[in-house]
Structure 1
């Protein structure tokens, strides 16, 4: 299991990624823009500047990493609430158990379930106000 930070921006994710890449001598991985979802109903409805925003990207540096994304226009951006923690599992052991334990007294944002990028993904805000994403890495061929 790996716990890592997830940082959200309001249109500055790519600029921040490039800055942190230089600071930490890192490598940007898995960059996906909102407009990359061709045929996706949401992606098709976005204007060009929004399609260029970062939906998700990861910065790897040394034995460390963190993810970043931009919010969609109209979403509420609050400095201080724009960082949450990801728990990454490399197999399905303890994924559901961990999510269920964190879910006690929590606000479930997205129930644990299969997504195109993960066999198990969900997110919630726990009873202490901490934002968590639980994700199982897909098996590599």
Structure 2
């Protein structure tokens, strides 16, 4: 079952600055904050890059991240939609359907160290979807 859908803002190295700005400007609550330094293959300087943040603004969530420094964002790709399910099979099915209808794989759907299923796909209309399955508690 789909359990959430949020805008996901991408930045070229100033994600932490943007997160702090939105936190102060909108009196947002920081629900989650991780830097690239938390990745298994972290390098020096990765603590300055935002891996993932979730902010609550009123009753709404937004997510933010710096992009991989080797793959800077281009205009039009700085906002994507994060779709969260509680079923990896459903996530896979959605990913497959987008691909089968002239979609483009951005990142393969796969299990990661932080979540059972995560991948990115751009639909035929140019919208990038970050599809993910939550961990069971």
TM-score by length of structure 1 reads 0.83
Among residues 21, 25, 32, which one is paired with 2:23 in the alignment?
Answer: 21
State the SS of the aligned residue for 1:94: helix
In structure 2, what is the Cα distance between the partners aligned to 1:134 and 1:73?
21
Q: 3-state SS of the aligned residue for 2:111? A: strand
**1:71 and 2:67 equivalent?**
yes
Closer, same or farther in 2 for the Cα pair 1:90/1:25, shift >3 Å? farther
Match of residue 123 from structure 1: 120
Local SS of the residue matching 1:98: helix
Distance 1:134 1:90 in 2: 11
- After superposition, the Cα gap between the structure-2 partners of 1:99 and 1:76, relative to the gap in structure 1 and judged at 3 Å, is same
> 2:99 is matched with which residue?
103
| Greater than 3 Å deviation, 4+ residue runs | none
Q: Secondary structure at the match of 1:138?
A: coil
In structure 1, stretches of 5+ residues that fail to align are none
Confirm or deny that 1:113 pairs with 2:115. no
Paired position in structure 1 for 2:7: 5
How far, CA to CA, are the matches of 2:68 and 2:93 in structure 1?
31
Equivalent residue, structure 1, for 2:48: 52
Q: Secondary structure at the match of 2:116?
A: strand
CA distance in 1 between counterparts of 2:119 and 2:72 reads 20
- Give the match for residue 81 of structure 2: 85
Deviations 1:22-62 (A, max 9, x none): 2322211221111122xx33x1xx342x4421111111223
Could you tell me whether the CA contact under 8 Å between 2:91 and 2:131 is conserved in 1? yes
Structure 2 unaligned spans of 5+: none
Q: CA RMSD in A?
A: 1.8
Q: Secondary structure at the match of 2:37?
A: helix
